Amino acid sequence: MNAALPTPEGPAPDPDEPVVLGEPEQQPSAWNIANALTVLRILLVPLFGWLLLLDHGTQAKWRIAAALVFGVALLTDRIDGDIARRRGLVTDFGKVSDPIADKALVGMALVGLSLLDELPWWVTVVILARELGITVLRFFVIRHGVIPASRGGKLKTGVQAVAIALYVLPLSGAWHDVAVVAMALAVIVTVVTGIDYVARALTLRQTSPRAAAKRARAEREAAKAAEAADRPATSGHESP
């Protein structure tokens, strides 16, 4: 049996030894601080709803407590994303649970305020229909790519948070008028950004590499079909 020849970098590898490839990159564990904050936000949703609806929303102390819980939940939304990106803790669980937590919190606030007859139901329906519709649309275009968050989307989130917080707090007089204006602005921004997202989703479906490959494949199949259709006509004119 021939000995392995040395190489300038060292002895040649033994052909009988298995080749050990580099280990695949491991995904971060779902058990991390960022996901824990997301789960905390989900757990705060029923507590927030209970405080908001306690005593039919007539006690100022419970409304203030509900507003504080709402604020803490919003704070966890800001912190968990920053921690996940900074420490490399982005996980599939976080990608799914984070938007669910956000929509559950906003939905609980809007439905609760409408149950208290403090917010028209059509406002709740418009905002929640937009949020759920965009979520469904995101699943339809995920094969073509990810639509990055826009400034309008971030503005929508901020305006909604301010408007809801003002409605939750036991405000009256001029401050209540400010809350009404803020909620009106939130509805407008929500609808406009929803239309913008639909337009960007349609553009992505038409211009993504997947769509381009699909069109190229269709063109090749059409060319083959046309070529096959021309062959019988051509052979019919040939002399026997």
Pair 34, 89: CB distance under 8 Å: yes
Distance CA 134, CA 157 (A): 14
Q: How confident is the model at residue 9 (pLDDT cuts 50, 70, 90)?
A: very low
Residue 12 included in any domain: no
Length of the chain measured in residues: 240
What six digits make up the tokens of 73?
């939940």
Average of per-residue pLDDT values in the chain: 82
Indicate whether 161 belongs to any domain: yes
Distance CA 213, CA 211 (A): 5
* Mean pLDDT, range 78-85, rounded to an integer: 81
Q: What is the pLDDT of residue 234?
A: 53
**Which of the two residues, 197 and 210, has the higher pLDDT score?**
197
Q: What is the pLDDT of residue 73?
A: 94
Whole-angstrom distance, CA of residue 108 vs CA of residue 119: 13
- The answer to whether position 130 is within a domain reads yes
Q: Which domain holds residue 204?
A: 33-224
> CATH number of the domain that 143 lies in?
1.20.120.1760
pLDDT at 222: 76
Residue 27 lies in a domain: no
| Total number of domains constituting the chain | 1
Alpha helices in 8-117 (DSSP H): 33-53, 60-86, 92-115
Q: Cα(58)–Cα(55) distance, rounded to whole angstroms?
A: 6
Contacts of 29 (CB under 8 A, 6+ apart): 91
Of 94, 88, 73, nearest to 157 by C-alpha is: 73
pLDDT at 211: 66
**87-99: average pLDDT:** 78
Query: Confidence band (pLDDT; 50, 70, 90) for 224?
Result: confident
Predicted confidence (pLDDT) per residue in 17-62, tens digit: 444 444 445 667 778 888 889 899 999 999 999 999 999 999 999 9
Tell me, yes or no, whether 126 lies in a domain.
yes
Residue carrying structure tokens 């937590």: 101
Please, what is the Cα angle at 172 between 66 and 158, to 5 degrees? 55
β-pairing, 6-7 with 10-11? antiparallel
Summarised one tens digit per residue, pLDDT across range 172-191 is: 999 999 999 999 999 999 99
- The structure tokens listed for 211 are 């769509």
Q: Of 78-82, 130-134, 147-151, 162-166, which range is least confident?
A: 147-151
pLDDT in tens, 95-144: 778 888 889 999 999 999 999 999 999 999 999 999 999 888 887 887 77
21 found inside a domain: no
* Strand blocks (E) in the chain: 6-7, 10-11
At 237, the pLDDT band (50, 70, 90 cuts) reads: low
The answer to whether position 50 is within a domain reads yes
Dist. CA 165–CA 60, nearest whole Å: 14
Q: Which two tokens stand for residue 78?
A: 């800001």
Domain membership of residue 4 (yes or no) is: no
pLDDT at residue 40, as a whole number: 93
Q: Say whether pLDDT at 3 is over 70.
A: no
Segment among 76-90, 152-166, 224-238 with least mean pLDDT: 224-238
Predicted confidence at residue 50, as pLDDT, reads 97
